[in-house]
Amino acid sequence: MGRVYAIDLGVTGAIATFDSGHLMAVDDLVITGGALCADWLTNYMAGVQRDTIVCESVHAMPTGTKANFSMGLQLGVVIGVAGALDTPLSRILPREWKKRVGITKVGRESKDQARQIVTQQFPGFAPHVVRVKDHNRAEAILIGVGFLQNG
């Protein structure tokens, strides 16, 4: 498999780039006015042959939180950008990718565990996941790893 972009959605978020199964980059998503910037995402992926975009399969939750709304909004932007770039979009359930990469904890502890796993498996990217708020980067990387392990 060639180029894969793995996206962690949410109030903030991140995108990890894999090429032929190798992690190449991880970046924060650009969020403007509470929404993922479609122009930024399009330009980020433009000009490169892409095999797929993968992101978490998100759905509505009865709690009605800001994060829940943001994930739905971000997913809509990703669907639109994938369509505009004529790139297949795959979605993976959180429980699937977390099981594949070995996340056993829940809540805040799962985010810390994600950062630890990335530090161990990708030591060159450890500086990108040092801060607690870098969990989005770690999760984007692990969403990509979980996706690539299945296919």
Dist CA 59 CA 75 (whole Å): 10
Would the pTM of this model clear 0.85, i.e. be above it? Answer: yes
Q: Could you tell me the two tokens for 73?
A: 């909004």
Q: For the chain, first and last CA: distance in Å?
A: 9
Per-residue model confidence as pLDDT tens digits over 60-110: 555 555 555 667 788 999 999 999 999 999 999 999 999 999 999 988 899
Alpha-helical (H) ranges within 11-56 are 38-45
Domain map (residue ranges) of the chain: 3-150
Residue 19 sits at φ, ψ, to 5 deg, of: -130, 120
Domain boundaries 3-150, corresponding CATH code: 3.30.420.10
